[in-house]
């Protein structure tokens, strides 16, 4: 009896916004308030009651039929939505679509009915059928929310299999908006994102250019250009630079810095982060990015100051975002303490990390501390014993252990570990690339070349593989014209990369083109003051008889990183004491 009463209350609740119960006490409303007839007679009440009972008793088919029939009888939007929800909970997409279309037919002006129809069609991967609902969604959106509606379309179609068809439908639906000044830019950005998802990078870049032409002050076209840069579309750099010549928002500058960081363009990323903290010193995220980059450059004291500044400002961030960002800062501070060989302080920073997402990084840092204390077997075991909470954790553990072995010059162990992983994942270009670099450390140059060519075959746009192979040939002073071709190919993929530019300068030196080598290496060193680039530039200057300039460059390199192996070996080979 109790269960039936509860279900009856639920059925009545479906009409709570459309009706006033006639049995309510008179004191609950003014005497003049009209009584609205809900149309809920005994038969309909029983139908709703039975429908809800079936829904909760594992009979969704019967529940759906009863609820849809009730919706049609009453033309009630809540009942149509309930019918759709019952079908979706039962994972019956066709039934959900049937109810949504019935709702839309009964209430043609209902945006909610159209939105349900569109989303269900997309979820069912019936992309072509979604065209009519897509046009209606755009046409019926209020003017003040229309830009947001357009912006959301790439997310709506994100999971469809035929992304090219989806992009074409969206472009056709947005055609009227492309001629409207207030909508043209956001529409072109949406089209660009759809084309990018479909893999049509040329069309996406064209859309980004048109979006920027429609509104040169808008941030959205530049954000699309940054996404294209992440996809290795070098021409998108022009759109970004055109925007950054003027004033720009701090959020956009931060996004640009992160893209540059992901592309390993550390010098340019540092420049953007420094501009951000200079212009907006109260923003904590700028200090975090700057500190991370300074640590990457081995500028320990500067990184310490930047990360401490971030931690002092972190309370301004939203709670969840602050937790993740603070964990990154704690890891950085632990690394700084580790470099200063203050292991107790490093452990103190790591102990502050309490969110599970960063515990693996914290444990890997602890393993590094153990290894530096001469306890490498314990360090490896610490990494191996980490729990695997997600599918990618096993790979992260492998990479952490390989890095640990490389840091401590255990190259054969690292090579063997990567070899086993590649046997399991023979087409994993990143693992093969890492194995190639370790093979080079072991002097197995034929093996290294074989592995790098395998990477290029699997991933033709891998600038790092072209560069590594070209630099290896130049370093060994063999097949130098092939080396230059490989390195130039890497620069086509990532123009201006200072480390690849350094490789080009080095091969020009090996070819005997000393003035050109100096020009190229000076450009690389200006873009990224780095100890290894300093080693190469200094050697070219030394060979040309410009020994004072060479010594000055080498001294700068030692200040940047006194432990750089290439610089130390160069000075030893040339018998130079500074």
Backbone angles phi, psi at 30, to 5 degrees: -60, 150
Please state the rounded mean pLDDT for residues 297-319.
Answer: 93
Please state the rounded mean pLDDT for residues 101-118.
Answer: 94
Quick one: DSSP state of residue 410?
Answer: -
Residue 30 has pLDDT above 50, yes or no: no
pLDDT confidence of 119, banded at 50, 70, 90?
Answer: very high
pLDDT confidence of 386, banded at 50, 70, 90?
Answer: confident
Residue 310 has pLDDT above 50, yes or no: yes
Does the CA dihedral 445-446-447-448 come out positive or negative? positive
- What's the CA dihedral at 129, 134, 136, 138 to 10 degrees? -170
Please state the rounded mean pLDDT for residues 414-440.
Answer: 96
Name, in order, each residue with C-beta under 8 angstroms of 406's C-beta and a sequence gap of 6 or more.
414, 438, 441
The structure tokens listed for 430 are 């990143």
Please state the rounded mean pLDDT for residues 79-84.
Answer: 93
Measured CA to CA, the distance from residue 97 to residue 130 in angstroms comes to 11
Residue 31 has pLDDT above 60, yes or no: no
Does the CA dihedral 93-98-101-102 come out positive or negative? negative
Please state the rounded mean pLDDT for residues 86-115.
Answer: 93
pLDDT of residue 47: 84
pLDDT of residue 241: 80
Please state the rounded mean pLDDT for residues 540-560.
Answer: 96
CA distances (Å), origin 415, targets 44, 365, 372, 422: 73, 21, 21, 10
pLDDT of residue 18: 38
Please state the rounded mean pLDDT for residues 517-525.
Answer: 96
Quick one: DSSP state of residue 459?
Answer: -
Cα 2 → chain centroid: 52
Residue 483 has pLDDT above 70, yes or no: yes
pLDDT of residue 245: 62
pLDDT of residue 433: 97
pLDDT of residue 33: 52
pLDDT of residue 439: 97
Residue 110 has pLDDT above 90, yes or no: yes
Q: Contact 228/205 with Cβ under 8 angstroms?
A: yes
Q: Contact 167/197 with Cβ under 8 angstroms?
A: yes
Please state the rounded mean pLDDT for residues 375-396.
Answer: 89
446-457 residue pLDDT tens: 999 999 999 999
The structure tokens listed for 431 are 């693992």
Question: Which string of DSSP letters, residue by residue, matches 30-64?
Answer: -TTSPPPP----HHHHHHHHHHHHHHHTT-HHHHH
Name, in order, each residue with C-beta under 8 angstroms of 84's C-beta and a sequence gap of 6 or more.
96, 99, 100, 103, 116, 120
Residue 102 has pLDDT above 80, yes or no: yes
Q: Which of 101, 18, 89 is nearest to 52 (CA)?
A: 89
Please state the rounded mean pLDDT for residues 59-64.
Answer: 89
Please state the rounded mean pLDDT for residues 110-120.
Answer: 94
Q: Which of 53, 78, 83, 54 is nearest to 67 (CA)?
A: 83
Measured CA to CA, the distance from residue 387 to residue 306 in angstroms comes to 32
Residue 300 has pLDDT above 70, yes or no: yes
Q: Which of 359, 352, 411, 419 is nearest to 383 (CA)?
A: 359
Q: Which of 89, 86, 75, 69 is nearest to 10 (CA)?
A: 86
Q: Which of 283, 281, 282, 308 is nearest to 294 (CA)?
A: 308
Q: Contact 463/500 with Cβ under 8 angstroms?
A: yes
pLDDT of residue 569: 95
The structure tokens listed for 439 are 């093979």
pLDDT confidence of 10, banded at 50, 70, 90?
Answer: very low
pLDDT confidence of 392, banded at 50, 70, 90?
Answer: confident
The structure tokens listed for 522 are 């000076």
Q: Contact 368/399 with Cβ under 8 angstroms?
A: no
CA distances (Å), origin 3, targets 21, 136, 303, 367, 492: 21, 43, 64, 58, 71
Question: Which string of DSSP letters, residue by residue, matches 306-358?
Answer: HHHHHHHHGGGS-HHHHHHHHHHHHHHHHHHHHHTT-HHHHHHHHTT---GGG
Measured CA to CA, the distance from residue 136 to residue 425 in angstroms comes to 47
pLDDT confidence of 38, banded at 50, 70, 90?
Answer: low
Average pLDDT, the chain: 89
Percent of the chain residues past pLDDT 70, beyond the cut: 92
At 375 the three-state DSSP class reads coil
Q: Is 302 exposed, middle or buried (0-12, 13-18, 19+ CB in 10 A)?
A: middle
Residue 1 has pLDDT above 90, yes or no: no
Q: Which contacts (CB < 8 Å, 24+ apart) does range 518-522 have?
A: 518/544
217-257 residue pLDDT tens: 888 998 899 888 888 787 888 888 877 765 678 888 888 88
Q: Contact 131/173 with Cβ under 8 angstroms?
A: yes
Measured CA to CA, the distance from residue 153 to residue 147 in angstroms comes to 10
pLDDT confidence of 216, banded at 50, 70, 90?
Answer: confident
Q: Contact 113/100 with Cβ under 8 angstroms?
A: yes
Backbone angles phi, psi at 563, to 5 degrees: -100, 5
Measured CA to CA, the distance from residue 467 to residue 435 in angstroms comes to 15
Q: Contact 251/283 with Cβ under 8 angstroms?
A: no
Please state the rounded mean pLDDT for residues 74-81.
Answer: 92
Is it true that domain 1-21+38-124 has CATH number 1.25.40.10? yes
């Amino acid at each position: 009896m109790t269960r039936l009463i509860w279900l009856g209350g639920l059925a009545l609740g479906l009409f709570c916004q459309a009706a006033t119960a006639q049995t309510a006490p008179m004191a609950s409303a003014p005497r003049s308030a009209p009584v609205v007839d809900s149309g809920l007679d005994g038969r309909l009440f029983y139908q709703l009651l039975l429908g809800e009972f079936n829904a909760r008793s594992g009979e969704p088919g019967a529940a759906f039929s009863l609820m849809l029939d009730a919706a049609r009888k009453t033309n009630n939007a809540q009942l149509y939505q309930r019918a759709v929800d019952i079908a979706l909970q039962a994972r019956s997409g066709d039934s959900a679509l049937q109810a949504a279309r019935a709702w839309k037919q009964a209430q043609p002006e209902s945006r909610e009915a159209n939105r349900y129809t569109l989303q269900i069609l997309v979820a069912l991967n019936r992309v072509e059928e979604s065209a009519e609902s897509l046009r209606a969604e755009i046409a019926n959106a209020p003017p003040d929310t229309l830009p947001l509606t357009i912006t959301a379309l790439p997310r709506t179609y994100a999971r469809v299999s035929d992304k090219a068809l989806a992009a074409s439908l969206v472009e056709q639906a947005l055609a009227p908006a492309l001629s409207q000044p207030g909508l043209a830019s956001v529409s072109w950005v949406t089209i660009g994102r759809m084309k990018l998802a479909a893999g049509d990078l040329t069309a996406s870049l064209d859309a980004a250019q048109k979006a920027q032409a429609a509104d040169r002050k808008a941030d959205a076209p530049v954000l699309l250009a940054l996404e294209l840069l992440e996809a290795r579309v070098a021409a998108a750099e022009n759109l970004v630079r055109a925007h950054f010549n003027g004033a720009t928002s701090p959020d956009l500058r931060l996004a640009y810095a992160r893209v540059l960081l992901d592309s390993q363009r550390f010098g340019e990323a540092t420049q953007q982060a420094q501009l951000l903290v200079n212009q907006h010193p109260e923003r904590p995220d700028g200090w975090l990015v700057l500190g991370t980059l300074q640590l990457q450059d081995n500028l320990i004291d500067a990184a310490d100051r930047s990360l401490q500044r971030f931690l002092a400002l972190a309370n301004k961030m939203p709670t969840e975002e602050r937790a993740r960002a603070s964990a990154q800062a704690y890891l950085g501070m632990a690394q700084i303490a580790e470099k200063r060989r203050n292991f107790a302080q490093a452990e103190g920073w790591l102990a502050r990390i309490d969110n599970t997402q960063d515990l693996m990084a914290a444990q890997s840092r602890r393993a590094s501390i153990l290894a530096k204390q001469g306890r490498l077997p314990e360090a490896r075991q610490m990494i191996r014993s980490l729990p695997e909470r997600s599918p990618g954790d096993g790979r992260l553990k492998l990479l952490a252990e390989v890095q640990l072995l490389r840091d401590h010059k255990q190259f054969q162990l690292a090579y063997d570990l990567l070899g086993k992983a590649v046997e399991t994942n023979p087409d994993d270009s990143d693992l093969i690339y890492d194995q190639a670099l370790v093979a080079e450390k072991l002097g197995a140059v034929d093996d290294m070349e074989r592995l790098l060519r395998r990477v290029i075959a699997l991933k033709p746009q891998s600038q790092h593989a072209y560069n590594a192979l070209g630099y290896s040939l130049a370093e060994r002073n063999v097949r130098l014209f092939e080396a230059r071709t490989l390195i130039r190919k890497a620069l086509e993929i990532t123009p201006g990369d200072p480390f690849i530019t350094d490789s080009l300068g080095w091969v020009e030196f090996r070819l005997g083109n000393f003035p050109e080598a100096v020009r190229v290496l000076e450009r690389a060193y200006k873009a990224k003051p780095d100890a290894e680039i300093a080693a190469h530039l200094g050697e070219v200057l030394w060979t040309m008889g410009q020994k004072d300039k060479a010594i000055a460059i080498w001294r700068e390199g030692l200040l940047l990183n006194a432990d750089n192996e290439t610089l130390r070996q160069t000075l030893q080979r040339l018998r130079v004491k500074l």
